[in-house]
């Protein structure tokens, strides 16, 4: 594809500030796009993206050495020799990449039924349910989300909840090439704010909930809400459908946005209310799964769900709303719910086969609301003491740290305060912030933790913290390990080190049983 054809996609605020062409004024053929200088092949266009830790502008020389035919930059170093190649100076390389990638891959989103799910919590579980329901209805479906990208038997680990626009457009094109008809994806506030889904039109846009998170990026809750609303305001097809959890305080904004868009709106709720077409009539939650009776527009459906947690009822309702919007048969909705695989790190039970061990649950909950809902669900399922291991991520929203601690303290009998992903922050400073929400609790050492009521243990080493919690647990107790869920790494400094909450918990459980 000619460079000029790519430049034609950049209009308005994305229009190039300057084009530096070879002396012969040629219009080179671009064979590929990349934003990773290590992956440049001869004839590629290289986009220099600015990230939190790495700036692509530092690798322009490397891109040229590997054969980049064109550079897209926000500024061009005066001393850089282009060696007869082209350079395009744009106001924002990340935003410019989206329409260029869309055109390069032939606008694949227009050939798919594209479903987007946004919200603070529940996106992953909801997309798993939707994928399972559509598959039960005989549709070829792909999934893009926090844990992985999978379709047509292929699975790839996800780097971001919502991929960079280039990776997204490439994946959507490959899905279509391999016969996928429906793609369901998690759409994060970062993905919306940074333009990663620019050029995508969603047939269905769903909203789960909105609670405090990512304020280090957005600044305040209004800006965070506005970012989520972009899914409906800017990316929902006019003839599309919004599916909205009406029980959330922010629901009205999404309902109004759908109306302004001229789109249909399907409301879902735990009890009958105006605008609710999908309503929960009855439910039962246990450690073996969840049962629910749901009223759909065409009648009542009894569902069995192998996922644990009262909060999964909201995810189930949103998934049912999406299925209704897409015309999935009720019997397929029921089959899909029953067949939904365990979502890694979402209320995932570890070591259930060890009959003499305490119950251990690993969950990704890392916001005050998610932690509160998780523990409110687990508390009545716990026969003995509820012991909670948790921490907060570094280089992220500090304001939520004591709020998470308060949520834990409302439900837990014992608390082990530890590191999450400290990143470049001092782990002890993070724990100082979290401790502010544990007033009224007594801090003890590891020896006293076993017997001291309403106590907490501070232990920055997460591996030791998980082991200490499980050592202190009796067979009737429940240990909940919150924060990292499916992640198989821990970020300390700028290193991503192998670490799995589930793996560490299983190791500690086996050691306890064998002792």
What's the pLDDT tens digit per position in 8-37?
999 999 999 999 988 676 799 999 999 999
> Number of helices (H) and strands (E), helices first, in the chain?
17, 25
| One domain, residues 258 and 298 | yes
| One domain, residues 89 and 125 | no
Question: Domain ends where: 82, 104, 126?
Answer: 104
| One domain, residues 462 and 501 | yes
| One domain, residues 426 and 492 | yes
How many structural domains compose the chain?
3
pLDDT at 217: 65
CA 472 – CA 21 distance, rounded (Å)? 68
236-245 β-sheet, strand order: 154-157, 148-151, 141-144, 182-186, 113-118, 202-207, 236-245, 264-269, 276-286, 289-296, 299-305
- The list of the chain residues with pLDDT below 50 reads none
| One domain, residues 42 and 129 | no
Residue reference for tokens 């209009």:
11
Instruction: Specify the DSSP element, H or E, that contains 487.
Output: none
| One domain, residues 361 and 261 | no
pLDDT at 218: 63
| One domain, residues 133 and 246 | yes
Contact 359, 470 (CB under 8 A): no
Residue reference for tokens 């369901």:
184
Structural domain for 38, as ranges? 3-104
pLDDT at 252: 96
Question: Domain ends where: 320, 339, 358?
Answer: 339
Contact 230, 200 (CB under 8 A): no
| One domain, residues 366 and 417 | yes
CA 489 – CA 35 distance, rounded (Å)? 24
| One domain, residues 8 and 157 | no
Q: How far is CA 403 from the centre of its chain?
A: 21
Provide the CATH number for the domain around residue 405: 3.90.190.20
CA 184 – CA 112 distance, rounded (Å)? 10
Per-residue model confidence as pLDDT tens digits over 421-468 = 999 999 999 999 999 999 889 999 999 998 989 999 999 999 999 999
- Phi and psi angles of residue 134, each rounded to the nearest 5 degrees, phi first: -65, -40
Question: Domain ends where: 275, 306, 339?
Answer: 339
| One domain, residues 446 and 459 | yes
Closest CA to 326 of 151, 207, 206: 206
| One domain, residues 412 and 326 | no
Instruction: For 48-177, list the strands marked E by DSSP.
Output: 70-73, 86-89, 113-118, 141-144, 148-151, 154-157
pLDDT at 161: 83
CA 35 – CA 57 distance, rounded (Å)? 10
| One domain, residues 391 and 318 | no
Provide the CATH number for the domain around residue 18: 3.40.1390.10
Rg from Cα positions in the chain: 24
pLDDT at 188: 92
């Amino acid at each position: 594809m000619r460079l000029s054809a790519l430049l034609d996609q950049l209009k308005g605020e994305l229009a190039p500030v300057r084009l530096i062409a070879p002396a012969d004024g040629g219009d080179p053929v671009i064979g590929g796009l990349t934003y990773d200088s290590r992956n440049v092949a001869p004839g590629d266009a290289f986009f220099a993206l600015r990230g939190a830790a790495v700036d692509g502008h530092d690798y322009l020389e490397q891109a040229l050495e590997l054969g980049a035919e064109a550079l897209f930059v926000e500024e061009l170093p005066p001393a850089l020799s282009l060696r007869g190649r082209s350079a395009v100076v744009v106001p924002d390389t990340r935003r410019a990449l989206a329409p260029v990638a869309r055109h390069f891959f032939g606008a694949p989103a227009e050939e798919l039924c594209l479903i987007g799910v946004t919200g603070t919590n529940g996106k992953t579980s909801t997309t798993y349910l939707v994928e399972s329901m559509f598959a039960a209805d005989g549709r070829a479906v792909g999934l893009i989300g926090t844990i992985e990208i999978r379709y047509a038997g292929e699975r790839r680990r996800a780097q971001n909840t919502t991929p960079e626009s280039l990776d997204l457009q490439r994946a959507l094109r490959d899905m279509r090439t391999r016969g996928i008809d429906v793609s369901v994806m998690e759409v994060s506030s970062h993905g919306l704010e940074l333009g990663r889904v620019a050029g995508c039109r969603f047939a269905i846009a769903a909203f789960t909930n909105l609670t405090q998170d990512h304020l280090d990026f957005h600044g305040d809750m209004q800006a965070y809400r506005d970012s989520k609303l972009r899914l409906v305001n800017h990316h929902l097809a006019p003839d599309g459908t919004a599916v909205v959890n009406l029980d959330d305080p922010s629901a009205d904004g999404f309902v109004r946005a759908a109306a302004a868009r001229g789109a249909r709106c399907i409301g879902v709720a735990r009890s009958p209310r105006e605008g609710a077409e999908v309503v929960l009539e009855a439910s039962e939650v246990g450690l073996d799964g969840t049962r629910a009776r749901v009223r759909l527009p065409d009648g009542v459906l009894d569902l069995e769900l192998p996922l644990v947690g009262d909060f999964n009822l909201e995810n189930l309702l949103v998934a049912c709303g999406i299925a209704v919007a897409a015309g999935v048969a009720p019997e397929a909705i029921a089959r899909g719910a029953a067949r939904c695989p365990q979502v890694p790190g979402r209320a995932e039970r570890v070591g259930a086969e060890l009959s003499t061990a305490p119950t251990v649950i690993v969950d990704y909950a890392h916001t005050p609301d998610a932690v509160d809902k998780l523990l409110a669900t687990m508390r009545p399922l716990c026969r003995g003491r509820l012991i909670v291991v948790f921490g907060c991520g570094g280089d992220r929203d500090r304001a939520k740290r004591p709020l998470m601690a308060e949520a834990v303290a409302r439900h837990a009998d014992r608390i082990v305060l530890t590191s999450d992903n400290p990143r470049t922050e001092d782990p002890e400073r993070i724990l100082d912030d979290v401790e502010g929400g544990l007033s009224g609790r007594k801090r003890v050492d590891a020896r006293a933790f076993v017997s001291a009521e309403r106590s907490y243990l501070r232990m920055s080493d997460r591996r030791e913290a998980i082991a200490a919690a499980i050592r202190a647990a009796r067979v009737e107790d429940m240990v909940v390990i919150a924060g990292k869920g499916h992640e198989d790494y821990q970020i300390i400094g700028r290193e991503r080190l192998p670490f799995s909450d589930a793996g560490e918990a299983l190791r500690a459980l086996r050691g306890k049983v064998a002792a």
